[in-house]
Amino acid sequence: MNTKRTLIGAFIIFLGLGLSSFKDDDRNFQISKNLDIFNSIFKELDLFYVDTIDPEKMIQNGVNGMLALTDPYTEYYPEEGINSLKEMITGKYGGIGAAIRYYKKKDRIAIVEPTEGMPAAEAGVKAGDIILSVGGKEMLRGNMKPQEFSSKVSEALRGEPGTSFVLKVLRPLKNDSTVMEFKITRKNIRNNPVPYYGIIKDSIGYLSLTGFTDNCAKDVKKAFIELKQRGAKSLVIDLRDNGGGSLQEAVEIINFFVPKGKEIVVTKGKIRQAASSFKTQNEPIDTEMPLAVLVNGNTASASEILSGSMQDMDRAVIIGTRTYGKGLVQTTRPLPYNGTLKVTTSKYYIPSGRCIQAIDYAKKNADGSVARIPDSLTTVFHTAAGREVRDGGGIRPDIEVKGDKFPNILFYLMNDDLIFDYVTQYCLTHPAVTSVDSIRITDADYAEFKKQVKAANFTYDRQSEGLLKTLKEVAEFEGYMEGAAEEFKALEQKLNHNLDRDLDYFAKPIKEQITEEIATRYFYQRGAVMQRLKDDEDLDKAIEVLNSPEKYKEILSVPVKVAEKQK
């Protein structure tokens, strides 16, 4: 009997191995077959198609189509694109240290923001300067798309540290403009991941972290220790709009606040090499200081590892809006001809065991679209103290703060460079600004701004008018218009847009944006952060919580009723 069972068991194992082998063989055949088909189609097109095809462009489109079936983070970088990948990973590049973008009024590229202490700023280049030539070569758009044009100029500005060139710009003046030339020597540029840190409200430290680039943990450590020395008794870490970066740097920063030996992240993938565990390796700096972490919808990846782990370990109060929901990990793989593939190899899981990935890219709709995982399909996990947290949709804050919505008119004012142009002229006529606190947009300043907006024949998409028109068409189609004609007429009168009225109604957010732009021109990124903090609901809530030890402790504890149920 035992022999019979052994034979049956052996047969089942053999059958299973056989099926597995058959599946592998079939998959390998399908791969080989389709690669052969792809190769043959290209050769036939190259040989017989009526016009000459561009082989690089055609193959690139094929590669892009293949990658489109994965996720947005799996990307191919040809040899000429490797520098952008390295910059994204390290935050370093050789260049002049200035942000640029397409300026449609002149069909040129404009300097948007020189970086403090870098070659462009030290040479005297200012935001608003329009690039005419780089190293004697004129920068013209021709038939290029604006994004391609920006890339071309960016590439011309970059180069080996120590090399010099002449940058020719057009500087707009109030009633005229002048051509200026600057001799600039390129150097290694590193984007500062901690643009500002300081003491707010007497003993609360504040630290802005904009990205997890190489060695950013050292910058955070230096800032944190200095804040403690300056008397900080609690700390706000601002991760809003931080799109992530190095997982290892995130773990190292978490280690400043939690004990050595804590498992922070586990990664799991299809192959064994994709599985790993990241633990804190060093003795912490401070495990007791109250912490608040600010997040928003653009807080992603490594930022979510930091905020989510702090939440899972009940080490910080998370404040703001739900984060992006990127729980995927990418690695780089070398390709022929010095190319690189950045490919998603695993998902990461934070201390509670949850993965916060919000979109399942393996389940795309027929049209290729994807949707977030609905809350009803997420799973409950628990923090170290037993608080409920969920997977599948980013990090949900402990305290949700819904800020003001971005006005439609403000988007178009910025998109049409009207705020950019106004601030350029403002800075030329206000050369002496001593501090961020001294920046004020007076009624006279705003009146001048409104005058410039109207002189530019500014128009923008008035969504309420468009929606009302659509509603009228539907009402007529369904036969309701006759009885609602008077109501529609009254509503049309109320929604009749007037530019003067809109500029006055949205004066507060428009003035705030103008002031932030001015602060950036004079005091760079730290100025922008300092200006934003003046009227910041998330920060106000963080200060309120950190100034109340009882409330702080209550948020990080399990509610009494829940605790009784858990018993």
- The per-residue pLDDT for range 393-436, each reduced to its tens digit, is 999 999 999 877 888 899 999 999 999 999 999 998 888 889 99
Residue 348 per-residue DSSP state: E
Token pair, residue 537, equals 């609901």
Is the CA virtual torsion 524, 530, 534, 536 positive or negative?
positive
**The pLDDT of residue 72 is above 80:** yes
Q: What percent of the chain has pLDDT over 70?
A: 92
Contacts of 156 (CB under 8 A, 6+ apart): 134, 135, 137, 139
pLDDT digits (tens, 9 = 90+) for 439-465: 999 999 999 999 999 999 898 876 666
Q: Which of 312, 314, 391, 536 is catalytic?
A: 312
| pLDDT reported for residue 369 | 83
| pLDDT reported for residue 478 | 76
Q: Given pLDDT bands bounded at 50, 70 and 90, which one contains residue 562?
A: low
Q: What percent of the chain has pLDDT over 90?
A: 75
Q: Is 447 exposed, middle or buried (0-12, 13-18, 19+ CB in 10 A)?
A: exposed
Residue whose tokens read 């994204």: 88
Higher pLDDT, 483 or 211: 211
| pLDDT reported for residue 87 | 82
**The pLDDT of residue 177 is above 90:** no
Q: Given pLDDT bands bounded at 50, 70 and 90, which one contains residue 475?
A: confident
**Least confident segment among 25-29, 151-155, 222-226, 302-306:** 25-29
Q: Which of 301, 303, 309, 352 is catalytic?
A: 301
Nearest-angstrom CA–CA distance, 384 and 42: 57
| pLDDT reported for residue 373 | 87
Is residue 494 part of the annotated active site? The answer reads no
| pLDDT reported for residue 2 | 58
Q: Which of 283, 280, 277, 296 has the alpha carbon at shortest distance from 238?
A: 296
| pLDDT reported for residue 191 | 86
Q: Given pLDDT bands bounded at 50, 70 and 90, which one contains residue 565?
A: low
Q: Which of 126, 262, 326, 450 is catalytic?
A: 326
Q: Is 119 helix (H, G, I), strand (E, B) or coil?
A: helix
**The pLDDT of residue 566 is above 80:** no
Nearest-angstrom CA–CA distance, 312 and 556: 10
Residue range 77-103: mean pLDDT, rounded? 88
Nearest-angstrom CA–CA distance, 279 and 258: 11
CA distances to 18, 351, 363, 369 from 366, in Å: 34, 35, 9, 7
**The pLDDT of residue 13 is above 60:** no
| pLDDT reported for residue 400 | 97
Is residue 301 part of the annotated active site? The answer reads yes
**Least confident segment among 90-104, 196-210, 510-524:** 90-104
Q: Given pLDDT bands bounded at 50, 70 and 90, which one contains residue 479?
A: confident
| pLDDT reported for residue 89 | 80
Q: Given pLDDT bands bounded at 50, 70 and 90, which one contains residue 560?
A: low
Residue range 181-210: mean pLDDT, rounded? 95
Is residue 504 part of the annotated active site? The answer reads no
Q: Given pLDDT bands bounded at 50, 70 and 90, which one contains residue 351?
A: very high
Contacts of 282 (CB under 8 A, 6+ apart): 252, 255, 260
Nearest-angstrom CA–CA distance, 359 and 349: 15
The total number of residues shown for the chain amounts to 567
Residue range 282-306: mean pLDDT, rounded? 98
Cβ neighbours, 10 Å, residue 108:
18
CB 151 within 8 A of CB 222: no
Residue range 167-178: mean pLDDT, rounded? 87
CA distances to 91, 130, 195 from 187, in Å: 14, 22, 19
Mean pLDDT of the chain: 90
Residue range 239-252: mean pLDDT, rounded? 96
| pLDDT reported for residue 181 | 97
**The pLDDT of residue 212 is above 80:** yes
